Structure 1
Amino acid sequence: MSLTDFRTLGRSGLVVSPLSLGTMTFGTPRWGSADDVSEQLFNEYVDAGGNFIDTADVYAKGRSEELVGEYTARRNLRDQLVLATKSGFNTQPGNPHAGGSGRKHIHRALESSLQRLKTDYVDFYWLHVWDTVTPAAEVLQTMGDLVRTGKIRYFGLSDVPAWWATQLAMLAQAHGVPGPTALQLEYSLVSRTIEYELLPAARALGLGVCPWSPLAAGFLAGKYQRQATGASGEGRLSGPNPFGDSKFTDANWRVLDVLRE
Structure 2
Amino acid sequence: MRTLEIGRTGEKVSELALGAMLFGTTTDEATAQRMLDHFLAAGGTHVDTANCYSWWSGPQYTGDESEEVLGRWFARTGRRDDVFLATKGSARIRDLDGVWRDGSDEPDSALAQSRYEGAGAQTLRDALEGSLRRLQTDHVELYYVHVDDRSTPLEETLEVLHSFVVEGKVRHLGWSNVRAWRLERVRATAAANGWTVPVALQQQHTYLHRTAGLDHASIVDDEQLDYLRANDDVTLFAYTPTLRGSYDDDAKWATNWQHRFFDAPANAARRALVHELAAEVGCTPNQLVLAWILAQRAPRMSAITGVRTWEQYEQNIRAADVELPADVLERLDAQP
TM range (shorter): 0.7 to 0.9
Aligned-partner Cα distance in 1 for 2:69–2:268: 35
Give 1:182 deviation, angstroms.
1.1
Uncovered stretches (5+) of structure 2, i.e. residues with no partner: 55-62, 98-113, 211-218, 277-336
Letter in 2 for 1:214: P
Equivalent residue for 2:243?
A: 216
Aligned residues: 242
Aligned to 2:227: 201
Output the CA distance in 1 between the equivalents of 2:122 and 2:46: 28
CA offsets, 1:226-257, max 9 Å, x none?
Answer: 79xx54xxxxx4xxxxx565368474454323
Q: Which residue of structure 2 lines up, in the alignment, with residue 27 of structure 1?
A: 24
Alignment of 1:69-218 (within 5 A): 69-93=71-95, 99-190=117-208, 194-205=220-231, 206-218=233-245
Identity of aligned residues (%): 32
Tell me, in whole angstroms, the C-alpha distance in 1 between the residues paired with 2:252 and 2:31. 29
Q: Structure 1 runs of 4+ off > 6 angstroms?
A: 94-98
1:225 aligns with 2:251: yes
CA distance in structure 1 between the partners assigned to 2:22 and 2:201 by the alignment = 21
Q: Is the 8 A contact 1:190 1:216 kept in 2?
A: no
Asked if the contact 1:124/1:156 (under 8 Å) is kept, the reply is yes
Matched letter for residue 144 of structure 1: H
Flag the 1:15–1:167 CA change in 2: closer, same or farther, 3 A. Answer: same
CA distance in 1, matches of 2:252, 2:220: 27
Which of 256, 271, 296 is the equivalent residue of 1:256?
271
Farther off after superposition, 206-215 or 192-201? 192-201
Q: TM-score, normalised to structure 1's length?
A: 0.84
Which residue number corresponds to residue 6 of structure 2? 9
Tell me the CA shift for residue 147 of structure 1: 0.5
Would you say the 8 A contact 2:203–2:220 is kept in 1? yes
| Distance 1:33-1:246 versus aligned 2 partners, 3 A rule | farther
CA contact (8 A) 1:97 1:105 kept: no
Deviates more, 1:210-219 or 1:50-59: 210-219
Aligned equivalents of 1:208 and 1:45: distance in 2?
Answer: 22
Deviation for aligned residue 1:100: 0.5
CA RMSD of aligned residues (A): 2.4
